[in-house]
Amino acid sequence: MSPTPFEHGLALAWSDGALSRNGAIMLETLQTQLGISDSERAEQEQAWLVDISKPERRSFGDGDLILREWLEGLDDHESLAPAVRSLGRAALDVGLSKVGWKEAIQFAEGLGLGDELAEGVWLEKEAEPLKDWPPALDPLAIILGLVISMPSMATEKVSKFSDGTAFVSIKHPDAKPTRLSWMPNLLPIDSEGCEWGWEDEAEPDSEMPSRSMVYSKSVLLAWIRRLVAMRKDRGEDGLVGLPDNCRLMPSSSELITDGNTMTLSMIVDLGGAGLVRPWASVTVEGQPSIVPAPAGISDNWVMIHDALAGLLITGLETLPRQLLLAGGCEVSIQAPEIDGEWVVHDIA
């Protein structure tokens, strides 16, 4: 049986193995936000706590941070409602069982979005085709079985150009931007050069460096999420070393740069053991290399750590090749470097 929204919040609050004072305060906020009574909360809390063992605090994860992110996402009801309708419509495309419907509507009603889910499933109100959903709805997408199916459901878009700021640039006379079927929200920019920008016309956090090939960490992060989705589509594990029946939440992934180091993290649903956010770092000096996992953690956590680091290295190795191929530019590039929020290469 899938958890209720409050039980999901409990899992987030305890995801690093302990409940902090801030976590307890946020659970109070969640109770108010969901509109459940003290008796309803006590019943759910008691049932949930009985089913878990409280391990020692792990080296990975930060329950307060994860719960805060989820709470902030739930505040944006205006964007959640149409997304829930689209999730309901998409669930019909992949097949929705009676059990799946029962669990999904229970969770959606807990969020105050039961009517919207029903409207999408029963087509009582027009729902847009599913392209993406807010991370706050990841639990509902998992219940509906859409975590694996969503990437293949993106609808074909009419070719268009971005008028925004460049997030990718290739400076070579043979390079011309084309539409990227594997990243449809990154649009070619209508200019004399070879550049791509995000469809929503977002602005980068810093000025793009002047190098032969440059791309933002936001593009790398989107590509890493796509790599996980493609592995799932092929029936492979999204991440090596996870226990059976665990799920990755690619939309929760974050990428942080610090000097020549990149750190990738991603929420993992461990089922009855709750949610955790493992992380791993890679140094980018010449060929990227894994920063060893912290000393003292278990072999299983080391395996997950190294798998995440390997995923980041795979992204750094494959993304520039994909971009060069899309630009029609058959050239060699040197090893990546980090320049603030940007990854840069020199064309050999």
Residue ranges covered by each domain of the chain: 5-74, 77-153, 160-348
Q: With cut-offs at 50, 70 and 90, classify the pLDDT of residue 158.
A: very low
* pLDDT value of residue 243: 64
One-letter amino acid identity for 94? Answer: V
Q: Which residue has the higher pLDDT, 288 or 232?
A: 288
Over residues 98-113, mean pLDDT = 84
Helix axes 5-13, 38-50, angle to 10 degrees: 60
Task: Answer for the pair 149, 92: CB distance below 8 angstroms, yes or no.
Answer: no
* pLDDT value of residue 141: 79
* pLDDT value of residue 150: 38
Q: Which residue has the higher pLDDT, 69 or 42?
A: 42
Q: With cut-offs at 50, 70 and 90, classify the pLDDT of residue 89.
A: confident
* pLDDT value of residue 16: 55
* pLDDT value of residue 221: 93
Say if residue 8's pLDDT is above 50: yes
Say if residue 154's pLDDT is above 60: no
Over residues 244-263, mean pLDDT = 84
Tokens of 223: 């590509």
Q: Which whole-number Å values give the CA distances from 221 to 118, 121, 128, 245, in the listed order? A: 33, 31, 26, 25
Distance CA 213, CA 168 (A): 8
Over residues 243-252, mean pLDDT = 72
Percent of residues, the chain, with pLDDT higher than 90? 22
Task: Give the phi and the psi of residue 197 in degrees, each rounded to 5.
Answer: -140, 160
Q: Which residue has the higher pLDDT, 49 or 87?
A: 87
Say if residue 289's pLDDT is above 50: yes
Say if residue 317's pLDDT is above 60: yes
Give pLDDT tens digits for 294-308. 888 888 788 888 888
Over residues 77-100, mean pLDDT = 79
* pLDDT value of residue 235: 61
Say if residue 104's pLDDT is above 90: no
Q: With cut-offs at 50, 70 and 90, classify the pLDDT of residue 184.
A: confident
Q: With cut-offs at 50, 70 and 90, classify the pLDDT of residue 244.
A: low
**Which residues are within 8 A (CB) of 88 and not within 5 positions of it... i.e. 6 or more apart?**
104, 116, 117, 118, 119, 120, 121, 127, 144
Say if residue 191's pLDDT is above 70: yes
Q: Report the chain's mean pLDDT, rounded to a whole number.
A: 79
